[in-house]
Amino acid sequence: MSRGVLSVSHLQSLPLAAVLMGFLVFPILVILVVSFWDYDSFLLIPDFILTNYQDLLTSPVTWKAYLNTFQYAFLTWLITFGLGFTIAYYLAFHIRSTKAQTVLFLLCTIPFFTSNIIRMISWIPLLGRNGLVNQGLQGMGLIDEPLTFLLYSDFSIVLAYVHLYTLFMVTPIFNTMMRIDRRLIEAARDAGAKPWQILLHIVLPLSKSGILIGSIFVITMVMGDFVTVRLMGGGLRASVGVIIFNEISLLQYPAAAASAIVLLLTVLIMLTVLFKLVDIRKEL
């Protein structure tokens, strides 16, 4: 009987497995195969060479791009975690009304009513050399010359990432916090625990699954992004996504495929480390 149940469950999973194979696994396999091909200015040459990976891994430009990407990912994760945890904690534990929680949470989603490009472009008239921020600071006499680091810099790139992805940290942490049994907090208060002790020893450990899910969202999106770096960096900053975009623009598809495979492996290693830190199945 167990064999029959097992076979039926396998049959039920076949449609989803077929979809994953067709739209996820197969394209990755194609990219992997192409990454070993040769190419010239006009043609793709089916072959098996390691030149694409050798050029990629020995190039100082690649290492600098990965360093920039890791920097963006870490800073974005750190800031979005601080903001996301604070916002989620406030909504979950300081707003008693369910309606008020819903309204405030919907307010957080308002930026998503427009596209990412529009939201990024909206920073340019604010942060530019003659933007509103510099004009305001100069008008108040706080600065004599415009601040040039506000736009087309690492600062503006990270700022745009935080603006774009904070909600992806808020939502899973908020959902996790809402499942915390409030009796645990009441018991801790009755036992004389201080607010910071409750936060550190109860709320934070029980929110690990939400933090992990939010971290996965933020890190994977930053690692693979190129639009934000190109737009907010003014073409003066590089990332792994920008390198892949440039290679595709130059029709260097095997080199771009090799870069994509290395990026995929890098992200998978980072996710593996995260899953080692938090047992998501146990937490959920």
User: Which among 265, 243, 259, 252 has a CA at the least distance from the CA of 53?
Assistant: 259
Within-domain flag for 3: no
CATH of the domain at 148: 1.10.3720.10
Within-domain flag for 33: no
Question: Is the pLDDT confidence value at 6 over 80?
Answer: no
Within-domain flag for 22: no
The pTM is what?
0.87
Predicted confidence at residue 281, as pLDDT, reads: 63
Structure confidence by residue, pLDDT tens digits, 220-256: 999 989 999 998 988 888 899 999 999 998 889 999 9
38: enclosing H helix or E strand: strand 38-39
Structure confidence by residue, pLDDT tens digits, 132-180: 888 898 888 888 888 888 888 899 999 999 999 999 999 999 999 988 8
Query: What domain range includes position 96?
Result: 60-283
> Total structural domains in the chain?
1
Within-domain flag for 143: yes
Cβ within 8 Å of residue 260, ≥6 positions away: 31, 35, 244
Within-domain flag for 240: yes
Beta bridge partner(s), residue 39: 44
Question: Is the pLDDT confidence value at 2 over 60?
Answer: no
Beta bridge partner(s), residue 45: 38
Distance of alpha carbon 189 from the chain centroid: 36
Within-domain flag for 208: yes
Q: How far apart are CA 223 and CA 241, in angstroms?
A: 7
Within-domain flag for 21: no
Question: Is the pLDDT confidence value at 3 over 70?
Answer: no
Structure confidence by residue, pLDDT tens digits, 41-90: 778 889 899 999 999 999 999 999 999 999 999 999 999 999 999 999 99
Within-domain flag for 236: yes
